[in-house]
Amino acid sequence: MPTRTDLPELDDLLPTVDEIDVKTIRGAVSLREFIAGALGYSPLWVKGLFVARTAVALALRLETVAPPTRRLRPETVSFTPGELDLFFTVERGEEDHYLLLKISDNHLIGYLAFITDNAKPESEFKVVTLVKYVRPAGRFYYNLIRPFHHIMMLSMCRAAVRQ
């Protein structure tokens, strides 16, 4: 897998993962507002995807994480390693620059990074999904959800800048 040199915040992870997906959008919000808006995006169709995901995960005997029941607010976004932002564990971050979150299941390890150039009046935001397969079921599962992942990530990005 080629290494992306335009993501220096993730250079240590890029050679170790199996999948990389990057979505880019511009908006006049802070990084905290963007993260809270993206992770708080939860229309009915997204809730339906979580229900379908749970059914697929049960059929494949995969660990599941329940969708969050509370909303993340900009002031509660944590950049402290080891703390939780919803069901993600904070790996590392730098205020007004980037945040790297991680979730580990028995079939894959997923990372979600939010990176900004912090330009004014509009910043560029990159939302990066990194996936490392732990076992073959992880590859099967991710390929099954891949089309929905793209739609959901684009929708999350758009919702995050509409605040």
Read off the pLDDT of residues 48-103 as tens digits, 9 standing for 90 and up: 887 887 787 777 777 766 565 667 899 999 999 999 988 899 999 999 999 999 99
Read off the pLDDT of residues 120-147 as tens digits, 9 standing for 90 and up: 999 999 999 999 999 998 999 899 889 9
Region of 40 on the Ramachandran plot (φ > 0 left; ψ -120 to 50 alpha; else beta): alpha
* Domains of the chain listed by start with CATH number: 16-161 (3.30.530)
Q: List CB contacts of 23: < 8 A, sequence separation 6 or more.
A: 126, 127, 128, 153, 154, 157
In whole angstroms, give the CA distance from residue 102 to residue 145. Answer: 18
Rounded to the nearest angstrom, the gap between the alpha carbon of residue 31 and the centroid of all alpha carbons in its chain is 14
What number of other Cβ atoms are within 10 A of residue 59's Cβ? 8
Sheet arrangement for strand 98-104:
19-27, 123-133, 108-116, 98-104, 88-94, 84-85
For residue 119, the one-letter residue type is: A
Specify the pTM: 0.89
